[in-house]
A and B are shown apart, each in its own frame.
Chain A
Amino acid sequence: MSLPSNTDFEVDSPDISEVTNTTAKKAPWWRQLQYLAAGIIFGIILIKSEVVSWFRIQEMFRLQSFHMYGVIGSAVFTGIISVMIIKKTGAKTFYGEPITFQSRAFNKGQIFGGLLFGFGWALTGACPGPLFAQIGAGFTVTLATLVSAILGTWVYGLLRDKLPH
Chain B
Amino acid sequence: MFISILTSPWPWYIAGLLIGLMVPLLLLLGNRHFGISSNLRHICAACLPGKIPFFSYNWKKESWNLFFAGGIVIGGLIASALLADKEPSSSIHPQLAAEMAGYGVTYAHAPLPAELFNWPALFTLKGFLLMIAGGFLVGFGTRYAGGCTSGHAIMGLSTLQWPSLVATCCFMAGGFVMANLVLPLILHL
* B157 CB, nearest partner CB in chain A, Å: 5
Question: How long is the Cα–Cα vector from A111 to B170 in the complex, in angstroms?
Answer: 6
* Contact, CB under 8 Å: B136 / A149: yes
Considering the complex, which residues of chain B in the window 48-99 have a beta carbon less than 8 Å from any beta carbon of chain A? 48, 50, 52-55, 57-58, 61-65, 67-80, 83, 90, 92-93, 95-96
Query: Are the C-beta atoms of B138 and A35 separated by less than 8 Å?
Result: no
**Which of A8-51 touch B at CB < 8 Å?**
8-13, 15-16, 18, 21, 23-25, 27, 31-51
In angstroms, how far is the closest chain B Cβ from the Cβ of A86? 6
Partner pick for B142 among A35, A128, A138, A163, CB 8 A cutoff: A128
B134-156 contacts to A, CB under 8 A, are 134-156
Q: Choose one: A39, A64, A136, A154; the contact of B96 (CB below 8 Å).
A: A64
Residue of chain A at shortest CB distance from B80: A137
A residues in contact with B25, CB < 8 Å? 38
Partner of A66, one of B12, B15, B179: B12
Interface SS, B side: helix
A140 to B131 Cα, complex, angstroms:
12
Closest to B9 in A: A50
> Which A residues touch B178, using CB under 8 A?
61, 118-119, 121-123
Q: Is the CB of A128 within 8 A of B150?
A: yes
- Distance (Å) between the CB of A46 and the closest chain B CB? 7
How many chain B residues touch the partner (CB < 8 A)?
A: 132
Q: Known: A80-B157, A123-B183. Is A65-B27 also a contact (CB below 8 A)?
A: no
Pick the most buried of B12, B58, B162: most chain A CB atoms within 10 A of its CB: B12
Which chain B residues have a beta carbon within 8 Å of chain A's beta carbons?
6, 9-10, 12-33, 35-41, 43-44, 48, 50, 52-55, 57-58, 61-65, 67-80, 83, 90, 92-93, 95-96, 100, 107, 111-113, 116-119, 121-122, 129-164, 166-180, 182-183, 186
Given contacts A35-B30, A39-B67, A80-B160, 14 further A-B contacts (CB under 8 A): A24-B62, A35-B65, A39-B74, A48-B10, A71-B16, A73-B16, A74-B15, A78-B20, A100-B31, A104-B164, A105-B163, A110-B167, A110-B170, A148-B139
- Residue pairs across A and B with Cβ atoms less than 8 A apart, 19 shown, are A35-B71, A38-B22, A39-B67, A42-B19, A42-B75, A45-B15, A55-B113, A61-B176, A93-B31, A99-B27, A109-B146, A117-B138, A117-B171, A118-B171, A124-B138, A125-B111, A142-B131, A157-B52, A157-B143
Interface residue ranges, A against B (CB under 8 Å) = 7-13, 15-16, 18, 21, 23-25, 27, 31-62, 64-68, 70-80, 82-83, 85-86, 91, 93-95, 97-101, 103-107, 109-142, 144-158, 160, 163
